[in-house]
Structure 1
Amino acid sequence: MKTMQAAVCVRAGGPEVLEIREVPVPTVRPGWSLVRVRGAGLNRSELRTRQGHSPSVTFPRVLGIECVGTVAASTDPRIPDGTTVAAVMGEMGRAFDGGYAEYALLPNTLLIPVTTTLPWDVLAALPETYLTAYGALDALDVRPGGRLLIRGGTSSVGLAAASIAAGQGVEIAATTRRPDKAGALTAGHVLLDDGGPLELSALWPEGPDWVLDLVGARTAVDSLHLVRRGGTVCVAGSLSGWIVPGFEPIAQIPTGTRLTAFHSDTLKGAAGADALARIVREIEAGVYRPNVDRVFELADIAAAHRYMEQDQAAGKLVVVP
């Protein structure tokens, strides 16, 4: 029996519950193909799952909602062995084992063929982060010449969104809670967020046209009162949690202001293929930045989760088997 190394989350708890184990390589079955994982981006949703905040997830489980790699054993003639692929969401690392391993057995419907010369650690930083940023900006209907506020600007999605929006000719302001991370921001305007209401009157008296809120629960209501009348707020992150206590839409959404959200599952599989191809081209051309903060080996996955949990990163964390 062929075996592989995998980071198995054995129960809910701290980073120490991620154990490197020798486990059988998954057996291919109809509709699923075996992917040799070359890199996997780390995400805060995996952190929350590890902590026990995902009731549908049972342990032990190999976490990881995204990965990139090469097809090792295909059951789909459209994606032959050796094809470079990306996969994201679709219950990866939740209903079935995900990317924290040397191999992952994945539904063919999730596999996105990719043509690229990017190194694996850079490619691994793109799928979930850039597809989320791309989709959220599309949900906001961002246009050239407008004003965009990104809350949670030093998160991997925040940095990706700034990179994309800058390429579209958008004026950008981005927030961070950490002065020591401000240097990572490429936005035209950098704002420190001390946890209270954000003050934008000196910068944009009428407010931004759009707010991309990646902080979520703590800042969503404030964002609704920052955006200009008729502007749009998109909540696409949950750095501060999932629930806005006592939220009253009629009382707290100003007249004419629009509130929307973006769910990254929207661009899984074939739905995200064109967007990811464009993202890869722009990264290769130097138009977008991959924003990789740090690369960890699979054996150091507990340290990677500890680093993520302590909010030390300014950009994307990647693990490579």
Structure 2
Amino acid sequence: MRAVVFEKSDLNDLRVVELSRPKPNPHEVVIRVTESGVNPVDYYTVTSRWVKPIPHIPGAEFAGIVEEVGEHVSVVKPGDKVVVYGRVFDGTCDLCLASMENLCRNGGIIGIVTNGGWAEYAIVPDRNLIKLPDDVNWDLAASLPVAALTSYHALREANLRAGETLVVFGASGNTGQFAVQLGKLMGARVIAVSGKNWVSELGADYVASIDNVKDVVEKATDGRMADVVVDPLGERTWGVSLPLLGRGGRWVTFGQLTGGEVKIQLSLLYSNQFKLIGSTGGTRRELLELVNIMSKLKVKVDKYYELSEAKEALNRLFSPQRNGRIMIKI
């Protein structure tokens, strides 16, 4: 099979090689990968030193068709279309038993602590698979495990409620596209912060820029300001996003694309009773819920790449010309 691999922490070390197709253990499944989403986590995987095994196949977000199953697998069969829950979890720690597999004390992320999906075939535990409908949209399916699930979990952690006002930074990005749509499905009024006007097609009630978002939020809420702000961008937008909260508001993040060190005036935090929430990934149940509503979701793709163009795909993530998701077709 063809697979993207690297050994050094260097984008220039990415290459396509021929490997033997993996054979499943009793509770494992071999998937013929159809499509993979490209995310910042993949860039940091390739440029880090904390992956295994080496040589390493990256790719944390993917979907495909079951090719072969282990002898004890009964939940799926060859030919089934599936999406992969991207967390390795033991199922026995206190957090897993509380249905928080994303926080497993002995877990990690597929594509980082195991080989990932940037290959013609991938091997995963059967419990990491969720079946997809026959008429699946592969762009959307391959966007569920990271882009959609990360946003969905964050909005649930922030306890977004119908009738509230949600502000989404990076609204045209991987997670932002889904935060806008899921916020609307949850009944919120959504203000998308983006330089791309097409995000209004995702259901945003207002589209604002970094420069005018404060005015937009004030006008839309009659000065009450936002109930929930999603800001995965980090240092550069922190000083803009936090003051958008109204009293009792919740600020949630799952990323730091522009830097991870910020300052805060504590009186602003406690006098307004703000809640600062960190969120990571999502649970298996939440991924199943996304599969059940995927007909109500859509995804805008900027560009498709092949396995041999993995380096170009990762570089495109940070291009100012990027206009939607980056996907690898396999």
TM-score by length of 1: 0.85
> Which position in structure 2 is the counterpart of 1:309?
318
Q: 1:226 to 1:102 in 2, by over 3 A?
A: same
2:285 is equivalent to residue 271 of structure 1: yes
Asked if 1:114 corresponds to 2:132, the answer is yes
Q: What is the CA–CA distance in structure 1 between the aligned matches of 2:218 and 2:252, rounded to whole Å?
A: 21
| Match of residue 79, structure 2, among 76, 79, 82 | 82
Distance 2:2 2:51 in 1: 25
Whether 2:198 is the aligned partner of 1:183: answer: yes
In the alignment, structure 1 residue 193 sits paired with structure 2 residue 190 = no
Deviates more, 1:93-102 or 1:291-300: 291-300
Alignment of 1:63-212 (within 5 A): 63-75=58-70, 76-90=73-87, 91-176=109-194, 179=195, 181-186=196-201, 187-193=204-210, 200-204=217-221, 205-212=223-230
- The whole-number CA distance in structure 2 between the counterparts of 1:234 and 1:81 is 40
> 1:106 & 1:273 partners in 2: Cα distance?
16
Between the two proteins, what is the percent identity of the paired residues? Answer: 25
Q: How does 1:204-243 map to 2 (within 5 A)?
A: 204=221, 205-220=223-238, 222-241=240-259, 243=260
**From 294, 297, 300, the counterpart of 1:288:** 297
> What is the identity, as a one-letter code, of the residue corresponding to 2:277?
T
**Could you tell me how far apart the structure 1 residues matched to 2:38 and 2:7 are?**
18
How far apart, in 1, do the equivalents of 2:286 and 2:234 lie? 24
SS in 2 for 1:65: coil
Q: Give the aligned partner of residue 12 of structure 1.
A: 9
Number of residue pairs the alignment of both structures matches: 302
Q: 1:21 aligns with which of 17, 21, 25?
A: 17
Helix, strand or coil at the partner of 1:142: coil
Alignment of 1:253 with 2:265, yes or no, is: no
Q: 1: CA distance between counterparts of 2:79 and 2:35?
A: 15
Q: Deviation at 1:40?
A: 0.9
Alpha-carbon distance in 1 for matches of 2:220, 2:116 = 44
Counterpart AA for 1:84: K
TM-score (norm 2): 0.83
- Partner Cα distance (1:279, 1:298) in 2: 30
Superposed displacement of residue 88, structure 1: 3.2
Which residue among 241, 257, 262 is the counterpart of 2:279?
262
Does the CA-based 8 Å contact 1:87-1:127 persist in structure 2? yes
Report the CA distance between 1:221 and its aligned residue.
Answer: 5.3
Q: Does the Cα contact within 8 Å between 2:153 and 2:286 map onto a contact in 1?
A: no
TM-align CA RMSD: 2.4
Give the Cα separation in 2 of the matches to 1:57 and 1:240: 27
Partner Cα distance (1:8, 1:174) in 2: 37
Gaps of 5+ in 1: none
Q: Deviations over 1:233-284 (max 9, x none)?
A: 111233224x324x468456243111112211x32xx43343132232xx2x
Contact 1:214–1:236, Cα closer than 8 Å, also in 2: yes
Q: Which runs of 5+ in 2 are unaligned?
A: 88-108
Aligned equivalents of 2:190, 2:234: Cα separation in 1 = 19
SS in 2 for 1:71: strand
1:107/1:221 CA distance change after superposition, 3 Å: farther
Q: Quick check: 67-76 or 253-262, which moved more?
A: 253-262
Alignment of 1:32-51 (within 5 A): 32-51=28-47
Q: Deviations over 1:138-193 (max 9, x none)?
A: 122222222111011111211111112223332211112xx4x3334442222222
| In structure 2, distance between residues paired with 1:33 and 1:289 | 28
Asked whether the equivalents of residues 53 and 114 of structure 2 are also in contact (C-alpha less than 8 Å), the reply is no
The 1:119/1:226 distance shift into structure 2, 3 A limit, reads closer
Q: 1:273, 1:88 → 2: CA distance?
A: 7
SS at match of 2:261: coil
Question: For residues 189-217 of structure 1, what are the alpha-carbon distances to aligned partners after superposition, in whole Å with 9 as ceiling and x for unaligned?
Answer: 222226x9955444442211110112134
